Structure 1
């Protein structure tokens, strides 16, 4: 009955998400199904396991709230100042409209790698992207795929140094830094970007030649993108991103040259940064706020209101993520989940393949890469360390594995992307599935092969 209840709860969560039911409502209903079918006291399940347990929704909310707020305010300032649009528009000017899919994917990647929320990036890039694909005769569903690739794959899970929640979660749980296993992460990023763009571009060319684009031949019109004098220059627009990423990397770089036992101010700062894997990115993002305000005049207009808007924008993303994690927390308390854990750890397979399977399944159940990763690290992470996987390798592989099955149709991020871009599952989910599910799994398998060859 317990396993049956988990399956019913998951199907209910997927169906409600597909029908546009609020994720908070869907998460609570699915949680109740798990509690009832697994004979868990409802009061205990909701008040302890769901809300305030070790993996509870509001435990997570409290721990990561400042990171979400800092990132959302940074994103609001980048958007309000015109910096995000400037970066995207400059890429369009330099590359040409016929490379619209590259422009959209790279603009999203640059901004998310710099710490800007994927949803802020989407709003910043969406208008320009719509103009570009109209000029180049590219169908909207390919644009959706490019956004998913740039904003929701390698900069979320694989790229070394990214201040994404997934990277921070792994660093906090395993006491590593955001640049853990950089070679695996960098290769995984290249695989995701390379295969993703190969697929999207091949579809673009196929549609153009078959008449799905402009017509029977691959002919581009209005390729030149005019300069927009209303936007700030790309260089000061890019500097805040560089500042944030540079500060995040600084402790790792300095740590190679500074003796932590020396007692110097620099050594103390490096030690503090390494001991604060969640709060250090918050500090870096706050410094990024000031960089935007100092470098971009428009950012100084209504700055208090923009900061307030950014803070408000942080609440729903962190709450939605917390609800999904709360659902997963209840699942993790069931005997069925414990059976899953024991089975995965006892299977006669490579620990690395077992790791990939475990993270992928949990992320798929929760419909959240960060939720699945959080639950895996808290319930199974130590067991995989004891199997001999180095902490930095576990960090990178678990983060990469979390970014595959999480993007099934019930994923809240997928639904939000489609809604904002005026599309739906029928029109665009095929592209999302290939670039956000299939290709990340391939990249994770390549990462596992590298880990087996060079680290174990």
Structure 2
């Protein structure tokens, strides 16, 4: 009955969340359902197992959610994201409209801007470029998603995306884990996505399909849609309701000023990870007052947090005159982080309850027995859980909470670099998470004024097929050559 309860709980979570129910309510409710089927203490699992795990996730990752949302909102309100998007589009022009949209999205998200912030800025730019180039409007979501939600989220070494941060405390790694493999995976995702979109554009021109009609939803309409908000906040780190709060600058900064904060994120992250933290003495972290941890357990989060904080300070200093109301923008950014982290933490709490049930031993043994070795089984575990939850961060954390220690022990025994485990886990979480119920998918389609019927197939090719090919390549290379 315990295994039946796990399956029933997962089914209810997927079905009801797809219908728009809040994960804050669903996750504890279905966790109790799973515990009831197993005959386990219900209240103990709710207050001790569920809440303990959720609270631990918030304690570990709230600085990243907070600073990431704050940085993204200030980049938007200062006009920096718009300035970067306009610069790239003007240099590449309408003949390379798809490439311009992809590169603009990649640049801002790799620099630390939330993909939800990027959606609302890139969609109007993409609409303008696609209309002028007579490229079908239905390809807009796939082009934006390729630049914002694939390689810069899961593969590029050093990306400050929360998905790249989550494995670090489990494996003792840095944001730059397996950099060579990450770059190869990024190249595969980008090349495959651009090839597919170029093929789709050529096919459309051959058949005489032009831009076509489209709806142009207002930012406020999409941002305040409650269904979109519920889906979005359980999958990524920015509450779309805060997009319209604060005040965006009427005059974007020069491109040099706009791009400096992004360079600060990458540069400080690298310095903290490779040069600064490893050279300092943090032996005191082993004391009980600091949680009896080690530098390996916190260095990754510290590196990303310091990088985002430094970039935020730089951004404010460079754009103080352009930010009409700094306090309002900062309040909106801070508020934008709260609902997402509680939503993801609720998914994590649900996973902790499931992992604590006796029947989960069967699931664990099955996952670990998958042919192909630990790299393959880890990839499958993160894929499946990200698909079920519709959240790369939620699925990844559930998988690592339940199996992270086991995989670390396997890595030590088999002499597998934990950095390789890190990269495979992150790329695995960023593939099947893009199913139709994923919050980023729902939001992006709404922002672009498109539908699943018109645009989702091309999103599957760019967001799922390309990353799956990259994941297979990384597993093959990692199994034969090791981590690099």
TM-score scaled by structure 1?
Answer: 0.87
CA distance in 2, matches of 1:402, 1:359: 5
Q: 1:91 to 1:445 in 2, by over 3 A?
A: same
CA distance in 1, matches of 2:26, 2:137: 29
Instruction: State the match for 1:250 in structure 2.
Output: 271
CA distance in 2, matches of 1:180, 1:97: 37
CA distance in 2, matches of 1:321, 1:13: 13
RMSD over aligned CA atoms reads: 2.7
Question: Which of 390, 395, 399 is the aligned partner of 2:422?
Answer: 395
CA distance in 2, matches of 1:408, 1:170: 22
More displaced 10-residue stretch of structure 1: 3-12 or 353-362: 3-12
Instruction: State the match for 1:420 in structure 2.
Output: 447
Instruction: State the match for 1:346 in structure 2.
Output: 369
Instruction: State the match for 1:6 in structure 2.
Output: 6
More displaced 10-residue stretch of structure 1: 13-22 or 308-317: 13-22
Question: Which of 404, 421, 424 is the aligned partner of 1:381?
Answer: 404
Question: Which of 467, 472, 475 is the aligned partner of 1:445?
Answer: 472
Residue pairs, 1:177-216, within 5 angstroms? 177-213=174-210
CA distance in 2, matches of 1:111, 1:312: 21
CA distance in 1, matches of 2:452, 2:33: 26
CA shift, 1:433, in A, is 2.2
Residue pairs, 1:32-43, within 5 angstroms? 32-43=32-43
Work out whether residues 58 and 342 of structure 2, in 8 Å CA contact, stay in contact via their aligned partners in 1: yes
Work out whether residues 137 and 211 of structure 2, in 8 Å CA contact, stay in contact via their aligned partners in 1: no
Residue 238 of structure 1 pairs with residue 254 of structure 2: no
CA shift, 1:131, in A, is 1.8
Instruction: State the match for 1:360 in structure 2.
Output: 383
Q: 1:385 to 1:140 in 2, by over 3 A?
A: same
Residue pairs, 1:13-24, within 5 angstroms? 13-24=13-24
Instruction: State the match for 1:73 in structure 2.
Output: 70
**Post-superposition CA distance 1:374-417 (Å, at most 9, x none):** 22223222323333221111111111111112222232332333
- The gaps in structure 1 that reach 5 residues or longer are 216-228, 264-270
Secondary structure at the counterpart of residue 332 of structure 1:
helix
Instruction: State the match for 2:311 in structure 1.
Output: 288
Work out whether residues 54 and 346 of structure 2, in 8 Å CA contact, stay in contact via their aligned partners in 1: yes
Secondary structure at the counterpart of residue 380 of structure 1:
helix
Residue 454 of structure 1 pairs with residue 475 of structure 2: no
**Post-superposition CA distance 1:125-183 (Å, at most 9, x none):** 22212222222223333111122222111111110001111211112221111111101
Instruction: State the match for 2:61 in structure 1.
Output: 64
More displaced 10-residue stretch of structure 1: 15-24 or 139-148: 15-24
CA shift, 1:305, in A, is 1.4
CA distance in 2, matches of 1:159, 1:49: 34
Work out whether residues 57 and 326 of structure 1, in 8 Å CA contact, stay in contact via their aligned partners in 2: yes
TM-score scaled by structure 2?
Answer: 0.82
Q: 1:280 to 1:349 in 2, by over 3 A?
A: closer
Secondary structure at the counterpart of residue 300 of structure 2:
coil
More displaced 10-residue stretch of structure 1: 353-362 or 152-161: 353-362
- The gaps in structure 2 that reach 5 residues or longer are 213-249, 284-293
Task: Give the aligned length.
Answer: 433
Work out whether residues 251 and 273 of structure 1, in 8 Å CA contact, stay in contact via their aligned partners in 2: no
